[in-house]
Chains A and B, each alone.
Chain A
C-alpha cells in the first residue's frame, strides 16, 4: 500500500503530481491510501514518473482542482479512481448519470458554492496605518480548503489595499500586490470598524417588513455563516418588529398630504399657468393686500435679470421695472447691448409704510424673500436662462442664499442655490440714492450688464438651442 500525505497548502498541485506519478507507473487505486497519517506509514511513492502515457481531459484538470479542496477525506481517492478509469473508459467522465462522475460533480459544486459564499461573506475591518496603502483584515470560516482557490479574486478586486484573510485552513496575505499563503494560525483580533454601524443601518432599512421570507434568506445565507456577519445580529429584532410595522402602516392609512404637496403637485408646466397659480398665493403677509407684479419678457430669454421687489409705479401698473429705477436699468441694458432679457423681482409684491398720502418703499424681510423664492425658482426653471443677473443684495440673497454685503461681491459670479450661476451687480435704485458715487456705480452696472450679455451669448453658441444644466 502506498501512502500519500497531502499538504495543507499547495494541495491541488501535490495531488496532481502524485496522481500523475502513480498512474504513469500503473498503480491501481486499490493500492493507494490517500488519507495518510497512519502510524506505521506505508510504501513510498516512486521517485520519478513512470513509462505510461496519461490521458486527461481538460475539464478534469479543473474538476480535480475543485474537488481536492473538499474536506471529504475520500475526495483525493475518488479523483484518482476517475483518472484511472478514464485511461480505459473515455465516456463515463462526460456522463452526468454515471455515479462516480455525479459524485465528483457534487463535490465540485459544494466547493464552488463555498468559494462563492466566501466571496460574498468575507467582511473586512480596517486597521489604522500610516502607510500609503490602507490595511484591512477578515476572519472567515469556510467548509472546505478553499483559501488558495478563492482569494485571487480578492487580489484582483482589492488591488490598491493590503489585506489579510485568516481561516481555519490557512491565511491569505496580500501586500504591495503580492499574494502569499500561511499555515493556519489562531483567530486574529480585529479592530472595531465604524462602517459596520452604517452597514447594519442599511441592512435593517432595505428590508421590506411586508414580505417576510425567512426560509429564502436562510437557504442563501445559511446560519452557520452568521457569526462572522455583523449585520445578522439585527435580524431577530427586524423580524420581531416586522408584523407590527406593517400593521402600523395599515393603521396609519391614509393620511392627509403635507401642505406643500398641493403646491408642488400642481406645479404648472408653463409660465402663464405659474402666474395664474401665483395669483392665489398666500404664503406671506404681503400677498393679500397688494396686486402681484409678475416678471416680463420672452419665455426663452437667454438672460434673466432679478430685482428686489416692485415699487410704487410697478405696483400701480402691475409691470416690473417701470419706475425711475426701471428706466435707469433699461437705459443701461440698451447701452450694454443686452440680448432680450426676462425681468422679474425676488419678491412679487410691493411693501411700503404709509406716511400720510405717501407710500414709502420698504425692503422685504428675509422670511418674505424665502416665501417668494418658490416663484422665482419656477420662473428660472421654465425660462432656463443661460445667465441670471442679481440686482442688489435682496436679489442676490434670493438666488444664492448669501446675505453678505454687496460691495465685495459686485461683478462676481456666484453659484445659485438651484443650480447655474448668478452675476451680482448694483440695484439701479441704489444708484439713484447714492449721491457721490452714482456716476461710477452707473458705469459699473453698465459694464456688468455688458459682461452678462457676452456670457449669455457665448453660452448660447456653445450649448446650442437647448441648455441642459445652466439655469
Chain B
C-alpha cells in the first residue's frame, strides 16, 4: 500500500520532533532579487508555536524513519514498532518550497534514519540540499543533520549547500553512548565534528591571490544531548558542553529532556520529561556563553553536581557568594554587573549607557527594565541599600517557591 504525501508527512514529522533545534539565524545575508526564491541572514523568524511552547521556524522532518541502528532512547530505532515511511527527495523539495512560498517556514531541517549505509543516507540528504539550491535557486535556510559515519567527502559536500550542519553527541558521556546507542562511536562523532570545524575554518581563509574557497556551513555547527536518559550529573553535562564549545567551536549545544517516546524501550526511565532541569541547563549554558561564568563556577556549589531546580543558577551562585555583594551599580564594571541576579545583558548595556548621564536611582532601574525586586539584596544605589538583607539567613526563601502542601487524598 502506498502512503499519501500527507500520511508520510505525519509519520516523518512525528519522528522529527525530538530534535530540539529549530534555529534559523546567523547565516549569510542573501535574497532572491537577483533570481531564485527566498532570503536568509540576520535573526531567524519563528513562524508558529505549537502547544509545547516550541517554535516552528523550519520544516523539521526525517527523510525516512527506517533505521538500522538500535539506540534505545530513539523512537525510530530498529526495534521500535512505530509506523515507517520514506520521502522521495522530490517530495521533500516540493514540501519545502510550497511551505516556503506560503510563508510557513524559513527553510528545511532535514534529518534521517540510517538506511542501507551511512554513506547512502547522507548521499540522498545531500542530493535534496543540492536540488533545492541548484535546481530551484532556494536562498532560504537549510540545516542538515549530518551522519557522523558518512564519508568526509559527503560531509564536505553537505556543507556547501547547508547553512548549518549538526552532529548529535546524543549522550553526555561515552559509556552511556556505548550502553544506549551501541552502534554509534563517540570517537567517530568527534572526528566528524573536527572535520566540520576544520573545513569551516579553511573556508574562511582566502588564498594569497584573494580567491575565496567555497562556502561551508556559514551558520556553523551545533549538537544535541539527551538529558535524563542516563544518570549523568549536570556538572558532567556542563563540562561536556564546555569541551564541545571550546574544542569544536560549536554555535549551540542543545539539551533535550528525555521524553517518553511511543514504543519506548524497557531500558529507559518512564518519567515525565525533566523540563525544569532542561531549562536550568539552558540557563547555565547562557551564563557560560554570555555572562562570563565557567562551568566549574556554576556547579561548584551544587549538591551532588546537579543544578538547583527551585532557583536559577545565577541566583544560586550569588547566594553562595554573598561576600562579593552588594555591588555598587554606579561604579561596578560590566563583568560584575552581569553577575547580579535580575540583570540581563540588555539591562547591563542600558545601565552602562545611562550612567554617562548621571547616577541611577531605583526608579531609573525599573524604567530601564531591570528586575529590581530580584536584584535588591545584591545592589546599592544612591537611594537604596540592602543593609543586612544581603547576608540574612532567610534570603533564599525569598526566591524559592513555597514547599508544596501534600494532598491528603493523594
Residues on A facing B (Cβ under 8 Å): 91-92, 94-99, 102, 116, 119-126, 134, 136, 138, 153-161, 177, 193, 195-199, 201-217, 220-221, 229, 231, 235, 238-239, 242, 246, 248-250, 252-258, 260-262, 264-265, 267, 377, 381, 418-419, 466, 468-469
Contact = CB atoms under 8 A, between A and B. Distances in A.
A250 B260 contact: yes
Given A94-B353, A195-B98, A242-B51, A254 B153 contact: no
A211 B52 contact: yes
A120 B47 contact: yes
A85 to B, nearest CB: 13
B10 A205 contact: yes
Contact of B356 (A91, A242, A253, A262): A91
Contacts of B398: none
B120 interface: yes
Contacts of B50: 203, 206-208, 217, 238
B102 A220 contact: no
Nearest to A153: B39
A229 B353 contact: no
Contact of B13 (A120, A202, A265): A202
Interface stretch (B216-224, B237-245, B308-316, B360-368): B360-368
Interface stretch (B53-61, B158-166, B317-325, B332-340): B53-61
Contacts of B206: none
A211 B37 contact: no
B102 A211 contact: no
Contacts of B175: none
A198 B14 contact: no
Nearest to A156: B31
Given A94-B357, A469-B120, A235 B9 contact: no
B8 to A, nearest CB: 10
A206 B56 contact: yes
B123 A156 contact: no
12 contacts: A94-B353, A97-B360, A124-B102, A156-B31, A156-B39, A198-B99, A203-B56, A205-B17, A211-B52, A264-B70, A381-B117, A469-B123
A157 B39 contact: yes
Nearest to A157: B39
Given A201-B9, A249-B262, A254-B266, A94 B356 contact: yes
Interface stretch (B76-84, B195-203, B287-295, B382-390): B76-84
A210 to B, nearest CB: 4
Contacts of B261: 249
A159 B31 contact: yes
Interface stretch (B247-255, B268-276, B371-379): B268-276
A123 B102 contact: yes
A199 B272 contact: no
Smallest CB-CB A-B distances: 10 pairs: A216-B53, A213-B53, A257-B79, A261-B79, A97-B364, A156-B31, A96-B350, A254-B266, A95-B357, A207-B50
**Chain B facing A: main interface SS:** loop
Contacts of A248: 262
A207 B350 contact: no
A157 B18 CA distance: 29
B90 interface: no
A96 B257 CA distance: 38
Given A156-B39, A419-B120, A469-B120, A265 B49 contact: no
Contact of A265 (B78, B153, B357, B365): B78
Contacts of A221: 48-49
B357 A98 contact: yes
B245 to A, nearest CB: 26
Nearest to B29: A156
B68 A198 contact: no
Interface residues of B, number: 78
Nearest to A103: B367
A210 B79 CA distance: 22
B260 A201 contact: no
A34 B259 CA distance: 56
A255 B364 contact: no
Contacts of B79: 257-258, 261-262, 265
Contact of B45 (A120, A134, A265): A120
B37 A217 contact: no
B6 interface: yes
A409 B30 CA distance: 48
Nearest to A197: B6
A202 B54 CA distance: 14
A300 to B, nearest CB: 16
A211 B259 contact: yes
B3 interface: no
Residue of A97, A102, A256 with highest tally of chain B CB at under 10 A: A97
A195 B49 contact: no
Interface string B148-159: 000101100000
Nearest to A217: B49
Contacts of B80: 255, 257, 261
Contacts of B262: 248-249, 252
Contacts of A201: 6, 9-10, 13
Contacts of A209: 52
Nearest to A381: B117
B62 to A, nearest CB: 11
A260 B80 CA distance: 10
B209 interface: no
Contact of B52 (A116, A124, A207): A207
B353 A264 contact: no
B230 interface: no
Contacts of A206: 13-14, 16-17, 50, 56, 60
A248 B36 CA distance: 46
Contacts of A215: 53
Nearest to B366: A97
B125 to A, nearest CB: 13
B177 interface: no
Contacts of B364: 97
A96 B51 contact: no
A386 B153 CA distance: 18
A468 B51 contact: no
A160 B48 contact: no
B49 A220 contact: yes
B170 interface: no
B13 A468 contact: no
Contacts of A124: 101-103
A459 to B, nearest CB: 15
B259 A208 contact: yes
A96 B354 contact: yes
A455 B220 CA distance: 39
Contacts of B39: 153, 156-157
Contacts of B18: 208
Residue of B13, B104, B154, B275 with highest tally of chain A CB at under 10 A: B104
A277 to B, nearest CB: 14
B130 to A, nearest CB: 13
A255 B51 contact: no
Contacts of A250: 260, 270
B35 interface: yes
Interface string B1-25: 0000110011101101110000000
Given A249-B262, A252-B263, A469-B123, A156 B33 contact: yes
